[in-house]
Amino acid sequence: MRSHLLSQSLTKACVALISHTTLKTMKLSTLLAAAFALVGFCNTASAVTYPLPTDGSRLVGQNQVITIPDDNKQPLEYFAAKYQMGLSNMLEANPGVDTYLPKGGSVLNIPQQLILPDTVHEGIVINSAEMRLYYYPKGTNTVIVLPIGIGQLGKDTPINWTTKVERKKAGPTWTPTAKMHAEYAAAGNPLPAVVPAGPDNPMGHHAIRLAAYGGVYLLHGTNADFGIGMRVSSGCIRLRDGDIETLFRQVTPGTKVNIINTPIKASVEPNGVRLVEVHQPLSEKINDDPQLLPIVLNASMQTFKNAVQTDAAVMDHAMEIRSGMPVDVTRHHDVAQQPM
C-alpha cells in the first residue's frame, strides 16, 4: 500500500511540476493534456542505431509517414515511444496534431532522418535544443540516437559544457533536496526522506553520474509515462527506462560527454546538396513562444546561409517552420526556356 501511495504521490508531483514548465514552451493546456493522456500508458522501443556515413555525409536515417488507425485511442506519446521519438520531435514534425488523441485516419511524420551534430564522433553528445542524445560506441562506426527530457525552466540543464561519466549505478535511490521537499510539500505532495530503488523511484532503474558541477547532474531513467522530449526534470537528463538501460550497458566511466545547444544544424553533402535541420530554441522565460523566438546564427552558419549555393529564402522559411527535419536549401538555378 505504501508503495502504491508513493507512486501516486510522485505521479501527482510530476504533473504538478509540468504545470510550471513547458515543452520548450508548449502551451500549458496542450502540455497538461499530454501529461494526463499518458497516465496508465506504457510502451517501450528499441534504441535507434544508425551506421555512420563513410563518404563525408552527416545525414543519417529516413523519415517515415504512418497513418493513425481509424479506431485510435492512444495519445501522441504512444507513437513517439513506438518510433523512438521525444514528444517535442513529434510536435515539431506534425504541427497542429492533437496531443491527447491524434485523429484516426490522419498521417503522422516520424522524423527519423537527421543531421549529425557538428562535433567529434566520440562518446556522448547531447543536443538540448533537439532533445536528443547521440552515443558513438567506440570501434563500431555507428551512432545510437535516444530522445531525452531536460530541466524545467528555473532548474535548467546546463548547456555548452564538456564533462565525462563519473560512475554508474544500477537500482539508484533518490534523496530529494531540502528545496524539493519544500516545493513538493507546498503543492500538497510531500516526499519521503529517501525513495528506495524500485519501480516507484522517479530515477528509474539506472543512473549515470556526470563528473562536472560536483556530480549533481545525472543521466537517468524514469518511472513516469511522460517527460521525454519535455522540460520537466529538476536539471538531470531523463531517458525512457529501456533507453537508459541500453546506454548503461555500454558506456564506461571516463566516457566523454559533450552537451550543446544547437537549434539549427547544417550540412553540405558530398553531392553538393545543402541541408538545414531547424528545431525550436529553448525558451528562457515562461511566456516565451519557441516557435517565434529568434534563432541567432553563428559565424559559420551565417557563412553557410550567405553562400551563393544556398537559397537564403528557402532557409529563412525552414527557420520559420522549424519542423525538426532536414530541408534542402540548395539554390537551384532556373533553366532557361527553349524558344519554340
Polymer length in residues for the chain: 340
Q: From the candidates 236, 279, 317, 333, give the one annotated as an active-site residue.
A: 236
- Residue 92, φ and ψ in degrees, nearest 5: -65, -40
CA distance 28 to 34: 10
Q: From the candidates 181, 220, 332, 333, give the one annotated as an active-site residue.
A: 220
**SS3 letters for 122-157?**
CEEEEEHHHCEEEEECCCCCEEEEEECEEECCCCCC
Beta carbons within 10 angstroms of residue 17's beta carbon: 21
From 179, 174, 215, select the one nearest 192 (Cα to Cα): 174
From 44, 107, 105, 47, select the one nearest 77 (Cα to Cα): 44
From 174, 303, 300, 284, select the one nearest 231 (Cα to Cα): 284
Burial 21-46 (b: 16+ CB within 10 A, else e): bbbbbbeeebbbbbbebbeeeeeeee
Active site residue 236: yes
CA distance 119 to 74: 37
CA distance 65 to 207: 34
Q: Is the dihedral of CA 133, 134, 137, 143 positive or negative?
A: positive
Active site residue 220: yes
What's the alpha-carbon Rg for the chain, to the nearest Å? 21
- Among all residues, which ones are annotated catalytic? 220, 236
